[in-house]
């Protein structure tokens, strides 16, 4: 805490501040949840926030030769607030599945000092998501997910360092139980990341598919669960569960080889 330089790193010099005050952070939150048992609809709302008193923040001074001198000081006016909203509802006659929609936002203000100038950082973000669980016919199950998020950081000085990022995620899962204890399953996911400064946008996709068939289980005497290790497949087998023979096919992102593998699962 003494105003003496710490020269452990000659290129990053820390100086104590005997006048530094204790930081105090005040937080608040409010939540609401509503559920209608007649139509199976629900609503959730949440609000959170915080405000700091005597926020401890670095004050950086760039000296000749690229040496940085840092001293921690107190500032006020630092706060953050965020909110989330989610609405869920059934699909069709409530037996076909359900869906939910969510929205979230956040906003914040931080402060620091660079070469004696106060640098205000404004952080903002928002996003939404959609989830769908649907089984239109017996033994067919479909789940779809989608989300979009935006994140930004804006600086009062050095505006050329401002960042804005978009992120999108999508996935689709489906499984169909056929006669003869045969199950077809597939999964597809896609992630799209927007450009970040000099970095271009990119996307990654992954597809998985499998087919499995359940084998009839032989009656087992009552007793504790029995387990043993198969030396060839390296898999724990449970004596009182029905085994399955599965074959998986996975398609990797562009630029990677496609592979097929077989496995035995329990």
Mean pLDDT by 10 residues, the chain (266 residues): 69 88 96 92 96 94 87 94 96 84 97 92 96 89 96 91 93 92 94 86 94 71 48 43 47 44 40
Angstrom distance (rounded) from CA 134 to CA 42: 18
* pLDDT number for residue 197: 74
* pLDDT number for residue 263: 42
Contacts of 123 (CB under 8 A, 6+ apart): 80, 106, 107, 108, 109, 110, 151, 152, 153, 154
How many domains, the chain?
1
| Chain mean position to CA 94 | 29
The DSSP call for residue 91 is -
Angstrom distance (rounded) from CA 75 to CA 73: 7
Angstrom distance (rounded) from CA 88 to CA 29: 22
> By residue range, what is the domain housing residue 103?
5-265
* pLDDT number for residue 41: 93
What predicted TM-score, i.e. pTM, was given to this entire model?
0.71
Q: What is the length of the chain? A: 266
């Amino acid at each position: 805490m003494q105003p003496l330089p710490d020269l452990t790193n000659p290129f990053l010099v820390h100086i104590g501040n005997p006048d530094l005050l204790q930081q105090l952070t005040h937080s608040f939150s409010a939540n609401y949840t509503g559920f209608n048992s007649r139509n199976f609809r629900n609503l959730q709302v949440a609000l959170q926030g915080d405000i700091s008193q005597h926020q401890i923040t670095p004050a950086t001074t760039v000296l000749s030769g690229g040496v940085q001198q840092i001293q921690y000081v107190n500032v006020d006016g630092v706060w953050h607030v965020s909110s989330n909203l989610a609405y869920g509802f059934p699909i069709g006659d409530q037996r076909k599945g359900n869906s939910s929609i969510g929205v979230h936002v956040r906003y914040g203000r931080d402060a620091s000092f660079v070469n004696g100038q106060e640098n205000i950082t404004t952080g903002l973000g928002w996003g939404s998501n959609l989830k769908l669980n649907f089984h239109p016919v017996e033994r067919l199950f479909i789940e779809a997910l989608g989300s979009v998020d935006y994140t930004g950081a804006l600086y009062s000085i050095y505006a050329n360092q401002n960042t804005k990022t978009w992120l999108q995620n999508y996935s689709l899962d489906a499984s169909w139980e056929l006669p003869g204890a045969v199950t077809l399953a597939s999964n597809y996911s896609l992630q799209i990341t927007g450009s970040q400064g000099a970095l271009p946008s990119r996307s990654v996709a992954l597809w998985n598919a499998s087919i499995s068939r359940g084998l009839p289980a032989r009656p087992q005497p009552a007793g504790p669960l029995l387990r043993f290790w198969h030396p060839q497949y390296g898999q724990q087998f449970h004596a009182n569960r029905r085994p399955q023979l599965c074959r998986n096919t996975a398609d990797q992102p562009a630029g990677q080889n496609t592979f097929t593998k077989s496995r035995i699962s329990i």
